[in-house]
Structure 1
Amino acid sequence: MSDEVRDRFEIPKEMRAMAEASVEQARKTFEKFVASARSAAGSIEERNATVRAGAKDISSKAIAHAEKNVQTSLDHAQSLLKAKDVAEVTRLHSEYVQGLMRSLAEQASEMGQIVTKAARDVAKPKA
């Protein structure tokens, strides 16, 4: 065998075609994998944004309720200081407790609705 024949390396056409087809198939499969990975990452980011938004709503409402409750308690304390007798203290305290119970029930209902909405938003399938 001469050096020229030995140095000349040729891949048979069938093998070359099969190798090219395999490389092309691998490229397409990889591109699909990358697209799926990007889609999954985007979905995770959307879910995280939804969770953050829900948590922000919940914490904002909780702070607003706490602020209202503290202000109501301070107002009640101020009114007690101005009471003229025990009967007025009893009446003021009774009104305060009744109002507080109504307010707490409303706040609990509102917080329940906000938490339910946040949970639904997170569980909602993304299109």
Structure 2
Amino acid sequence: MDQEERDRFEIPKEVRSMAEAGFDQARKAFEHMLSSAQQTAATIEDRGAAARANAKEITGRAVSFAERNVHAALDYAQQLVHAKDLGDVMRVHSEYVQSQMKAFAEQASEIGQVVSKAAQDVTKPKS
């Protein structure tokens, strides 16, 4: 093939059309993939924000419960110090154990509700 024949070489219209169609399809596929990636990133960011907010609430409640339990234990210890006899010690101890068991049950229930809500918030579909 000499220079003149190479200069006259043309890409057939059908091949050119197929190539253009292929490029258009590739561009559309890339744009679709990019759009999906952006939506996924936004969803992850939203869910991350919800998870952080819920974690903050759970931590706040746990700290609040710990404070209440420490105060109850300190009050218990002070009452023991002021007990007059063994009967008084047994009464104070019994009251403390009963009140703490009730408090622990309430705290566990409350934390369970918050954790359940957090799980629902993180897994619910974005509207």
Q: CA deviation at 1:97?
A: 1.6
Q: CA deviation at 1:32?
A: 0.3
1:109: which partner in 2?
109
Q: CA deviation at 1:76?
A: 0.9
Residues 53-92 of structure 1 show CA distances to partners (whole Å, capped at 9, x for unaligned) of 2222222212211121111101110121122333322222
TM-score by length of 2: 0.84
Matches within 5 A, 1:45-124: 45-124=45-124
Write the letter of the residue equivalent to 1:21. Answer: A
Write the letter of the residue equivalent to 1:70. Answer: V
Distance verdict in 2 for CA 1:77–1:7, change over 3 Å: same
User: Structure 1 unaligned runs (5+)?
Assistant: none
TM-score by length of 1: 0.84
Q: CA deviation at 1:107?
A: 0.7
Residues 1-47 of structure 1 show CA distances to partners (whole Å, capped at 9, x for unaligned) of 77344324422333222221221121011100111112122222222
Write the letter of the residue equivalent to 1:54. Answer: N
Write the letter of the residue equivalent to 1:82. Answer: H
- Corresponding residue SS for 1:108: helix
Aligned length: 127
Distance verdict in 2 for CA 1:7–1:70, change over 3 Å: same
Alignment RMSD (CA, Å): 2.0
Write the letter of the residue equivalent to 1:66. Answer: A
1:25: which partner in 2?
25
Identity, % of aligned positions: 57
- Corresponding residue SS for 1:110: helix
